[in-house]
């Protein structure tokens, strides 16, 4: 099946998709029961996906709270919403809601919950979503199982659909209404409609959920209990996997050396399957306020000086590919590889730097750059070190300033106290709700992961705004191709490496990584063979 075409007002048949999944599960003899233990590297503490948009939150709460729509390898699949359609002017999106679904406390799920969550949380409080939903005026409930989203500016249906699996988790209105939402105890003890019910959360140790006996998908889930254990030390996490105490470690939760080692161990499945929707870019960011870096020729020369294939082989152990601008190859129709590229060529890089007017001086260097690496773990740090090394080859002296997370975010995004920086940034299904913030100007100073690079292009701003409200998917894809080409020509940021995340999964787990956002999904069909 091709990429879902939103213009056709598709209404996917839920039964069909469900049947297909159930069929593949029945191929082997499903064993019911058992406990699945999952390794978590860091602790999000808030478990309400309608307040915090982060894979760290979905990893846990995705089993307890369900989104309206999820994504499978075949396209968007109905969860709490069963059908979706849009008005021709793009100002109204109508969802049919699933009937007979109950919250974990037994109260029925209705349109009131959707309307309440959309207006009070998605629009006001949820990171990323408050930008997406800023033109949402109101949500009407003509009947308890129909929700009509009314926008004051056109909302492309494919943008809405792309956002929903992450940014579309309804919360029970009857438990939140009239309380201070941010301070609600439910934010750390979520009540949802999902296949698992929240049991307890021991800070710094674990979160536990048990099977929801009243789940709306008949016969599911298979597993009795899920435990998420917080293990910060990556070597200890690898030991826990090997000792069989943990069956799944996602999002590159163990060191790259252990990933490579365990990938040869026949007790584990190691790979990037199931992360198609969670692709990230390892970046190189420039401070264009530095006149040297403001020179396009210098940035292009630096790109030529980076051996991306070597970095992929050594740092990412082959689990990645070269970046081609702000849309990754996992971005579907919005992606194009018809862009300018900068193959590794040291001599060319040197020549370009000479031509740009930066010859090698007596100390052996052309100029010096202060680099801030993001402290997001092993491979990000290695990428920074590789970058510094590669720049030395072409006569650029890169000094690495080590900092912790707040130090990094402040130094780069608020104080702009850097020449270059690196990190990774996640692509969230649609460019409009993710990578465009790297290119669009006008973000207030201090907003992390936005264009704080001192790069501004009226033309690019207009292209981004137009693409965000274009209703025709084909035209919209064209527009993103143009943006990609322009970004690769002008290099405001280098989207150097496109990498999905990596999971280490015990072979005892069955039906794992069978959707493009599996670690965030509900795991209703997961079972454990023991």
Partner 1 sequence: MPLTVPPILAYALRRLIQAAPVVVLIMIGTFLLLKLAPGDTVDALVGDMGGADAAFIERLRIEYGLDQPVWVQLWRYMVKLASFDFGWSFVYEQPVSTVLMDRLGNTLLLMATSLSLAFTIGVLLGAIAARRAYSLSDNIISTLGLVFYATPSFFLSLMMMLIFSVKLGWLPVGGIKTIGAFYDGWKHVWDVALHLVMPTAALSLIYLAFYLRLMRAAVLEVAELDYVRTARAKGAGETRLMAHHIMRNALLPVVTLLGLQFSTVLGGSVVVETIFTLPGLGQLAYQSVIQRDLNTLMGIIFLCAIIVVVVNFLTDLLYARLDSRIELK
Q: Which residues bind partner 1 (CB under 8 A)?
A: 35, 37, 42, 44-46, 52-57, 125-128, 130-131, 182, 187-188, 202-206, 208, 225, 227, 229-233, 235-236, 239-240, 242-243, 245, 403-411, 415, 425-426, 443-444, 446-449
Least spacing, CB of residue 99 vs partner 1, in Å: 34
Question: Closest separation between CB of residue 232 and partner 1, Å?
Answer: 5
Taking the least distance from each CB to partner 1, the nearer of 364 and 406 is 406
Quote the least distance from Cβ 362 to partner 1, whole Å. 35
Element at 209 (helix H, strand E): strand 206-211
Burial of 83 (0-12, 13-18, 19+ CB in 10 A): middle
- Name the β-bridge partners of 398: 369
Nearer to partner 1, 473 or 492 (CB): 492
Tell me the H-state helices in 333-433.
346-355, 378-393, 405-409
Please state the closest distance from residue 202 (CB atom) to partner 1, in A.
7
Report CA dihedral (479, 449, 499, 274) to the nearest 10 degrees: -90
Rounded Cα distance between 51 and 131, Å, is 14
Total length of the chain: 530
Q: Which helix (H) or strand (E) holds 114?
A: helix 111-117
- Minimum CB separation of residue 231 from partner 1 in Å reads 5
* Displacement of CA 457 from its chain's centroid (Å): 26
Contact at 8 Å (CB) between 248 and 38? yes
Instruction: Give one DSSP letter per residue of 409-449, joined into a string.
Output: HIIIIIS---SEEE-EEE--SSGGGTGGGGT-S-PPTT-TT
Min. distance of Cβ 414 from partner 1 in angstroms? 8
Looking at the Cβ atoms of 18 and 210, the one nearer to partner 1 is 210
Q: How far is the CB of 319 from partner 1 (least distance, A)?
A: 20
On the question of a cis peptide bond just before residue 221, with omega within 30 degrees of 0, the verdict is: yes
Residue with tokens 């999820």: 70
Distance of alpha carbon 337 from alpha carbon 334, whole angstroms: 10
Pick 84 or 196: Cβ nearer partner 1? 196
> Which residues face 38 on adjacent strands?
228, 248
Tell me, what DSSP letter sits at residue 230?
E
| Minimum distance from residue 59 beta carbon to partner 1 (Å) | 12
Q: How far, in Å, are 34, 60, 351, 436, 448 from residue 451 at the CA level?
A: 47, 31, 30, 9, 9
- Nearest residue (CB) to partner 1, 37 versus 82: 37
Rank residues 186 and 483 by Cβ distance to partner 1 and give the closer one.
186
Structure tokens at 200: 């307890």
CB of 8 vs partner 1, minimal distance in Å:
32
Q: Which is nearer to partner 1, 232 or 368 (CB)?
A: 232
Q: Which is nearer to partner 1, 92 or 410 (CB)?
A: 410
Distance CA 118, CA 412 (A): 33
CB of 127 to partner 1, least distance (A): 3
Minimal distance, residue 311 CB to partner 1, in Å? 23
Closer CB to partner 1, 64 or 302, in the complex? 64
Tell me, what DSSP letter sits at residue 428? -
In angstroms, rounded to a whole number, what is the distance separating the alpha carbons of residues 155 and 137? 12
Between 45 and 289, name the residue whose CB sits nearer to partner 1: 45
User: How far is Cα 411 from Cα 433, in angstroms, rounded to an integer?
Assistant: 24
Residue 180 or 213: which CB sits closer to partner 1?
A: 180
Whether residue 28 has a cis bond before it, omega within 30° of 0: no
């Amino acid at each position: 099946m091709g990429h879902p075409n939103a213009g056709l007002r598709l209404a996917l048949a839920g039964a069909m998709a469900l049947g297909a999944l159930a069929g593949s599960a029945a191929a082997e003899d499903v064993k019911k029961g058992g406990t699945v233990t999952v390794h978590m590297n860091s602790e999000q503490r808030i478990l309400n996906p309608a307040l915090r948009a982060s894979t760290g939150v979905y990893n846990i709460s995705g089993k307890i709270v369900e989104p309206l729509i999820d994504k499978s390898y075949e396209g968007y699949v109905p969860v709490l919403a069963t059908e979706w359609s849009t008005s021709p002017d793009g100002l109204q999106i109508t969802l049919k809601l699933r009937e007979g679904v109950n919250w974990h406390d037994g109260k029925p799920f209705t349109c009131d919950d959707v309307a309440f969550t959309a207006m009070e949380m998605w629009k006001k409080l949820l990171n990323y979503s408050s930008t997406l939903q800023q033109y949402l005026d109101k949500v009407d409930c003509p009947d308890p199982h129909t929700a009509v989203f009314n926008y004051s500016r056109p909302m492309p249906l494919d943008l809405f659909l792309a956002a929903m699996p992450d940014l579309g988790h309804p919360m029970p209105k009857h438990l939140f209404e009239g309380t201070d939402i941010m301070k609600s105890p439910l934010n750390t003890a979520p009540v949802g409609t999902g296949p698992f019910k929240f049991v307890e959360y021991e800070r710094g140790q674990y979160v536990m959920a048990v099977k929801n006996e009243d789940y709306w998908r008949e016969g599911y889930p298979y597993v009795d209990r899920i435990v998420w254990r917080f293990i910060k030390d990556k070597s200890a996490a690898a030991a826990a996997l090997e000792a069989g105490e943990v069956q799944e470690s996602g999002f590159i939760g163990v060191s790259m050396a252990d990933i490579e080692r365990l990938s040869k161990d026949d007790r584990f499945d190691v790979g990037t399957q199931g992360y198609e929707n969670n692709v990230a870019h390892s970046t190189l960011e420039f401070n264009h306020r530095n006149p040297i870096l403001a020179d396009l020729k210098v940035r292009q020369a630096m790109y030529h000086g980076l051996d991306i294939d070597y970095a992929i082989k050594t740092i990412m152990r082959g689990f990645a590919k070269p970046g081609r601008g702000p849309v990754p190859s996992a971005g579907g129709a919005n992606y194009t590889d018809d862009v300018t590229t900068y193959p590794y060529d040291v001599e060319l890089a040197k020549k370009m730097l000479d031509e740009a007017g930066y010859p090698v001086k007596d100390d052996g260097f052309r100029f010096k750059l202060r680099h801030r690496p993001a402290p997001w773990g092993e491979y990000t740090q290695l990428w920074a070190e590789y970058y510094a090394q590669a720049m030395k080859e072409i006569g650029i002296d890169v000094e690495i300033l080590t900092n912790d997370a707040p130090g990094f975010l402040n130094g780069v995004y608020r104080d702009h106290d850097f020449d270059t920086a690196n990190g990774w940034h996640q692509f969230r299904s649609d460019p409009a709700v993710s990578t465009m913030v790297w290119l669009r100007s006008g973000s207030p100073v201090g907003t992390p992961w936005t264009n704080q690079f001192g790069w501004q292009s009226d033309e690019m701003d207009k292209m981004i705004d137009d693409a965000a409200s274009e209703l025709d998917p084909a035209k919209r894809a064209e527009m993103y191709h143009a943006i990609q080409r322009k970004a690769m020509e002008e290099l405001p940021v280098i989207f150097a490496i496109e990498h999905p995340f990596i999971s280490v999964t015990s072979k005892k787990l069955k039906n794992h990584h069978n959707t493009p956002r599996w670690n965030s999904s509900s795991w209703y069909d997961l079972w454990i063979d023991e």
